[in-house]
Amino acid sequence: MAQQPETAAPHRGILPRGAAPNAPFRRHHRRTYAALDLGTNNCRLLIARPADEGFVVVDAFSRIVRLGEGLAATGRLSDTAMDRAVAALSICADKLQRRQVTLVRSVATEACRRASNGREFVDRVYRETGIALDIISAEQEARLAVLGCHVLLEPGEGPALIFDIGGGSTELVLIESGGPAPRILEWFSAPWGVVSLTESEPHEWACRDQRLAAYQRMRERVANAFAPFAVALNGNHQRTRLLGTSGTVTTLASLHLGLSTYDRRAVDGLIVPAQSMRNISTRLSEMSVAERAGLPCIGHERADLVVAGCAILEAIIDIWPAERLGVADRGIREGILRSLMARESGRA
């Protein structure tokens, strides 16, 4: 395999099964790049080739693995959760081989950062799949998310806020746009994502009033975590531009549009009134898990987690009260691809 640039952290990539640890990939005239993001809730892969002013996706994979399930209570990744993640990563490894990827970066985020056995899990993944996961910091995660989605920001003056609601954490980044890349003014990572918040404040109550009370407690937990960053934002009065990348915002955007099935082309780059997202969040928080599971674009996989995402989203709008919310179905993986291609072409 082609070596990573010197600015990249070590141990990123994939080995052919059965190959020696230092065995290289065959080189191909037309280079193919890949980005793999293993989060607390999802495993996502994107494989692409460079094109004019960007790249063309040639393959993709996404699966909910809930790697961080139970982590808040035990401080460890469970055997069942690790098995699910390894099964998904094995599919990714096959795709990387079949697509003859020449350069790949594979990252793991909050679940592996927080778990006491996170490094052991990374070693297991390497042994069983050949994928070498790099546990990145919260700051690196925030920067990659911004790099992947900032082009969808509405034009305008003044700073903008970009956020990424993950499974185990939420990253908030205040940027100044303009020029080829945004300048990061402030960034913050809170230890609440859809999995960690759901496990800390269960929402599966039979009574509507109890569900609403639990939702309010979720919002308070997140608001308390955001408090230091909210103080840092106080000097920025032009709170007009807000952009979110996560399953939460894309799911709520689908409900706003009334889609019967998810359509990335309709959602990615959509601008939604912030109040509409608040209204949908309130409506979901009143529902039972079964009622949410019956809604298009939520289903059983997201029904128990989406309310925590709504609470985080509302807490973000509270501290950055923009009238409109930009929606991005892109983020860390796209940021990885852009950084890899820029380095290879000598632009970074």
Which tens digit of pLDDT belongs to each residue from 199-215?
998 778 889 999 999 99
pLDDT reading at 2 higher than 80: no
| pLDDT at residue number 318 | 95
Query: Would you state the structure tokens that stand for residue 52, as one six-digit string?
Result: 């004019």
pLDDT higher at 171 or 233: 171
pLDDT reading at 18 higher than 50: no
CA–CA gap between residue 338 and residue 22 (Å, rounded): 26
| pLDDT at residue number 347 | 53
| pLDDT at residue number 210 | 93
pLDDT in tens, 309-334: 999 999 999 999 999 999 999 999 99
- For the chain, how big is the Rg over CA atoms in Å? 20
Query: Would you state the structure tokens that stand for residue 145, as one six-digit string?
Result: 């998310």
| pLDDT at residue number 11 | 27
CA–CA gap between residue 111 and residue 82 (Å, rounded): 11
Q: Are 148 and 243 in contact (CB under 8 A)?
A: no
CA distances 107 to 12, 89, 97, 203, Å, are 8, 12, 18, 31
Percentage with pLDDT > 70 across the chain: 89
Provide the pLDDT confidence category of residue 348 given band limits of 50, 70 and 90.
very low
| pLDDT at residue number 346 | 61
| pLDDT at residue number 237 | 63
Q: Are 340 and 103 in contact (CB under 8 A)?
A: yes
Single out the residue of 332, 342, 347 nearest to residue 103, CA to CA: 342
Q: How many CB atoms lie within 10 A of CB 324?
A: 16
| pLDDT at residue number 178 | 73
pLDDT higher at 343 or 327: 327
pLDDT reading at 4 higher than 50: no
Signed CA dihedral, 272, 276, 277, 283: sign only:
negative
**Torsions phi, psi for 268 (to 5 deg):** -65, 115
- Going along the chain from its start, the domains and CATH numbers come out as 13-136 (3.30.420.40), 145-328 (3.30.420.150)
Query: Would you state the structure tokens that stand for residue 328, as one six-digit string?
Result: 């991005």
Provide the pLDDT confidence category of residue 239 given band limits of 50, 70 and 90.
confident
| pLDDT at residue number 209 | 92
Average pLDDT of the chain, as a whole number: 88
Q: Are 312 and 284 in contact (CB under 8 A)?
A: no
pLDDT in tens, 58-113: 999 999 999 999 999 999 999 999 999 999 999 999 999 999 999 999 999 999 99
Q: How many CB atoms lie within 10 A of CB 179?
A: 7
pLDDT in tens, 149-193: 999 999 888 899 999 999 999 999 999 987 677 899 999 999 999
pLDDT reading at 16 higher than 90: no
Provide the pLDDT confidence category of residue 40 given band limits of 50, 70 and 90.
very high
